[in-house]
Amino acid sequence: MGDIDLRLVDGQRLAAAGPAAPKWHGSSAFTQLVVLTQRSLQGYLTDGRALVLSMAQPVIILFLVTSVFSKFGTLIPGYPAGVSYFSYVLPAVLVDNALQTSLLTGAGLIDELRNGIAPRLRSLPIRPGAILIARSLTGLVRTAVQACIIVALALATHGNIVRGGIPAIAASIGLTMLVGWGIGWVFLAAGVWIRHTETLTNLGYLILLPLTFVSSAYVPLAALPSGLRDFAQVNPVTYAINAERAVFLHGVGAPISATTIVLPIVISLALGVVAGYGTMRLFRRPMGSWQ
């Protein structure tokens, strides 16, 4: 009887308390990704100073380098006939801008790791991968915005310099975004591993500077010394620039072929997948090891 009475009492208490409140299992992965991406983008798009400063370097390189070297740039052996030096360098500036933005993507993640934002997000019911993918998407949007501004400035100052028209512009910006996305994951992995903004920035410039200049960015490969030319021929940045140039100039100076277009796409996708996997693994380390 005693056990029955206790069960009746417990049942009466549960009935009085009403139905149990549904448990909250957290928001969906898509919702987390959208919210975290919006958060990162608001800090960039609403800060006019950051937007202007991020555009300064590629614009200065584009107009300064072309102004200085335009007189004799077209006299270099192997230079395509009938192409202005400005048109020749523009695709290289787009790729260089994507690389620089990718470096900033990794540096931004380090700032959030060290100022406590990322550990605070990790303590919430948020998937760790959403934090990283949101940072990657933010870099992707930044690359797209800056590429559009660079192309718009080029068209406004030099007229219709894109031989392939609007489709070529769209394809070139898309390829620029893909290159930036792949390299962005590399710097995200480096950022989680290094965890110091200054160290990552110095390392990034140390890597990006020779990759950019020892390539087909500013002169044809035939004009480079033999040792540098050998390196440039296997430099992935050369493949990206050649593909951009082939699309922009519609095959002039850089013939359009399946290899020219597909190779940088495959390299960018491979870098993104491998570096993304490594970043996820590194990011799952205990939060105490981030300090």
pLDDT above 90: residue 65: no
Rounded Cα distance between 228 and 206, Å, is: 17
User: b vs e for 199-223, b when ≥16 Cβ sit within 10 Å of the residue's Cβ?
Assistant: ebbebbeebbeebbbbbbbbbbbeb
Cβ–Cβ < 8 Å for 89, 66: yes
Least confident of 21-25, 117-121, 207-211: 21-25
Which residue in 108, 110, 119, 116 sits closest to 37, CA to CA?
108
Rounded Cα distance between 243 and 164, Å, is: 13
Task: Determine the average pLDDT of the residues in 32-61.
Answer: 81
Task: Determine the average pLDDT of the residues in 94-100.
Answer: 93
Residue range 235-260, pLDDT digits in tens: 999 999 999 988 888 755 555 777 88
Task: Determine the average pLDDT of the residues in 131-143.
Answer: 92
Task: Determine the average pLDDT of the residues in 3-13.
Answer: 42
User: b vs e for 240-266, b when ≥16 Cβ sit within 10 Å of the residue's Cβ?
Assistant: bbbbbbbbbbebbbbeeeeebbebbbe
CB-count burial class (<10 Å; 0-12, 13-18, 19+) for 119: middle
Cβ–Cβ < 8 Å for 85, 167: no
Which residue in 229, 214, 225, 191 sits closest to 104, CA to CA?
191
For position 30, what pLDDT does the model report?
A: 85
pLDDT band at residue 13 under the 50/70/90 scheme = very low
Residue range 175-216, pLDDT digits in tens: 999 999 999 999 999 999 998 999 999 999 999 999 999 999
